[in-house]
């Protein structure tokens, strides 16, 4: 396995830990981007932040990596409606980013799902 392949779970872990911590540092930002049809915004923001931190920690531990990866993929799918909401109501979120960036985030979610899958869930292939 190449060094970059060995490092990816730790990189993913660090990214999710930081992202999760931001949920607690600035929860209002995340509450604002939640679709109005979802209940309990504050609680969902805290829950998603906690799961990001736990998933990030789990991705860095070889024994929990696969389960953490599956959990992070589920989380990425679960938060997709917020990204879609932002893109489809881009004028409301102009202070966050231009509309094209909000739309570009949608396929980025797929990239993140694939990256997490390849780095944590899929069995590594031996060097050939």
Question: Which long-range contacts link 69-74 to residues 24+ away (Cβ below 8 Å)?
Answer: 69/116, 69/117, 69/119, 69/120, 69/121, 70/120, 70/121, 72/12, 72/16, 72/116, 72/120, 73/113, 73/116, 73/117, 73/121
Q: Does residue 75 sit within a domain?
A: yes
Give the model's pLDDT for residue 128: 45
Sign of CA dihedral 102, 38, 12, 106: negative
Name the residue among 75, 69, 54, 56 with its Cα closest to residue 121: 69
Give tens-digit pLDDT for 37-92. Answer: 999 999 999 999 999 999 999 999 999 999 999 999 999 999 999 999 999 999 99
Give tens-digit pLDDT for 91-118. Answer: 999 988 999 999 999 999 999 999 999 9
* pLDDT for 125 beyond 60: no
Q: Does residue 128 sit within a domain?
A: no
Give the model's pLDDT for residue 1: 73
Give tens-digit pLDDT for 24-38. Answer: 999 999 999 999 999
Q: Does residue 98 sit within a domain?
A: yes
Give the model's pLDDT for residue 124: 62
- Cite the DSSP H helix spans in the chain: 3-25, 27-32, 41-60, 65-78, 80-88, 99-116
Supply the range of the domain harboring residue 91. 3-118
Q: Does residue 67 sit within a domain?
A: yes
Name the residue among 16, 32, 28 with its Cα closest to residue 68: 16
Q: Does residue 103 sit within a domain?
A: yes
Q: Does residue 127 sit within a domain?
A: no
Q: Indicate the range of 4-13, 76-85, 117-126 predicted with least confidence.
A: 117-126
Q: Which phi and psi (to 5°) does residue 117 adopt?
A: -60, -50
Give the model's pLDDT for residue 2: 83
Q: Total domain count for the chain?
A: 1
Q: Does residue 126 sit within a domain?
A: no
Q: Does residue 39 sit within a domain?
A: yes
């Amino acid at each position: 396995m190449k060094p970059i392949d060995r490092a990816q779970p730790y990189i993913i872990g660090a990214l999710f830990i930081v992202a999760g911590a931001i949920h607690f540092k600035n929860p209002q930002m995340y509450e604002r981007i939640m679709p109005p049809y979802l209940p309990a915004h504050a609680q969902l923001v805290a829950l998603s932040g906690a799961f990001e931190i736990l998933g990030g920690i789990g991705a860095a531990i070889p024994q929990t990596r696969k389960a953490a990866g599956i959990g992070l993929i589920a989380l990425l799918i679960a938060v997709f409606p917020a990204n879609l909401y932002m893109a489809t109501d881009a004028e409301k979120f102009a202070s966050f980013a231009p509309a094209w960036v909000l739309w570009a985030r949608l396929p980025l979610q797929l990239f993140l799902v694939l990256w997490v899958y390849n780095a944590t869930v899929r069995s590594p292939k031996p060097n050939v």
